[in-house]
Amino acid sequence: MDHLVRLRAAIREAGGAAIGSGLHPAAEFGDVVHVPGERYAAIVAMLRGLITRTPTAATHVHVGMPDPATAILAYNGLRRHLPLLQALSANSPFWFGKDSGFDSARAQLFRAYPRSEIARAFRGFPDYERTIEAIVAGAEIADYTFLWWDVRPHPLLGTVEVRAMDAQSDPRAVAALAALVHGLALNEVANPAPAVDSGVLMESSFRAARDGLRATIWFDGALYPVADVARRAVALARRHLDVPALDEVERILVDGNGADRQRAIHAREGMEGLIAALAADTLAPPAYA
């Protein structure tokens, strides 16, 4: 978090502008400039018009792993928490200047890309390797980094990477999400649970992106309100990682997620006011210790 705050301070001091949001709320369709580079040229060639609609921005959290077997345990377990993480982080209600009706329109735009899903659980690292080899061959892609799953093992970095969350303007929310992912990864390795079917998780992911904190999502065999699932998840995380940042999850539940804040500002100040507020929040000095 210190690195993130210092990066944002450097942008501010250089006179730059940035907004922490899953989508730019008013960018026009096709108003996008891609990073130059071989990898991104390959992505543009692959996705064509899909990638030129509007940029998407996500919060990715990596948790370091000691070995491949532990990585698969963490990956398998974190899958069941993805709808919750999406609901807490939803921060892109507007697309192309209009209210999408979703708390995370970014998630729905991203689902149009190939290999952007909640993949199945694996029986172990060899099972994962065989699956990756088959997909890479069948898709004619360079490697597994072109599989844009909501959570994925990342062997090149030695991590498991959670990718399901919108970018955030408030660094307190980034801290909360990172701490929650970290604590849940530790819990899932220590207490492996039966894997949840990918189809069930994808349905809850859709509900979380649409309804945010008002969603009901699947957890432990039934549908529960997001707030109930969040408090249970925080309790699981605290068994292994009792840090102040986890308190921010309760603040999100009480005060609202980023989508709630965006809609409230837009109702008061319009689109120009919303963009100005997102920029001010993103580059403001942090309001937490």
What pLDDT is recorded for position 50? 85
Q: Does the pLDDT value for residue 229 go beyond 60?
A: yes
What pLDDT is recorded for position 265? 98
Annotated domain spans of the chain: 2-29+58-283
Q: Does the pLDDT value for residue 105 go beyond 80?
A: yes
Q: Does the pLDDT value for residue 289 go beyond 50?
A: no
| DSSP collapsed to 3 states, the chain | CHHHHHHHHHHHHCCCCCCCCCECCCCCCCCCCCCCCHHHHHHHHHHHHHHHCCCECEEEEEEECCCHHHHHHHHHHHHHHHHHHHHHHCCECEECCEECCCCEHHHHHHCCCCCCCCCCCCCCHHHHHHHHHHHHHHHCCCCHHHCCCCEEEECCCCEEEEEEEECCCCHHHHHHHHHHHHHHHHHHHHCCCCCCCHHHHHHHHHHHHHHHHHCEEEECCEEEEHHHHHHHHHHHHHCCCCCHHHHHHHHHHHHCCHHHHHHHHHHHHHHHHHHHHHHHHHHCCCCCC
| Average pLDDT of the residues in 94-103 | 97
| Average pLDDT of the residues in 235-252 | 97
| Average pLDDT of the residues in 162-186 | 96
What pLDDT is recorded for position 286? 64
pTM: 0.95
Per-residue pLDDT of 34-77, as tens digits, reads 888 998 888 888 888 888 888 899 999 999 999 999 999 999 99
Grade residue 259 by pLDDT with cuts at 50, 70 and 90: very high
Q: Does residue 35 or residue 214 have the better pLDDT?
A: 214
The Cβ of residue 131 has, within 10 Å, a number of other Cβ atoms equal to 15
Grade residue 287 by pLDDT with cuts at 50, 70 and 90: low
Grade residue 284 by pLDDT with cuts at 50, 70 and 90: confident
| CB 23 within 8 Å of CB 105 | yes
- Indicate the average pLDDT of the chain: 95
Q: Does the pLDDT value for residue 195 go beyond 90?
A: yes
CA angle 166, 251, 233 (to 5 degrees): 70
What pLDDT is recorded for position 53? 87
Q: Does residue 251 or residue 42 have the better pLDDT?
A: 251
The Cβ of residue 157 has, within 10 Å, a number of other Cβ atoms equal to 12
Separation of alpha carbons 216 and 227, rounded Å: 9
| DSSP collapsed to 3 states, 173-197 | HHHHHHHHHHHHHHHHHHCCCCCCC
| Average pLDDT of the residues in 234-242 | 97
What pLDDT is recorded for position 288? 47
Share of the chain above pLDDT 90, in %: 86
Strand partners, 56: 23
Look at 32-36, 225-229, 283-287 and tell me which has the smallest mean pLDDT. Answer: 283-287
Q: Does the pLDDT value for residue 240 go beyond 70?
A: yes
134, 118, 140, 117: which is closest to 45 by C-alpha? 140
| CB 65 within 8 Å of CB 74 | yes
Topology given in CATH for the domain delimited by 2-29+58-283: Creatine Kinase; Chain A, domain 2 (3.30.590)
Q: Does the pLDDT value for residue 143 go beyond 70?
A: yes
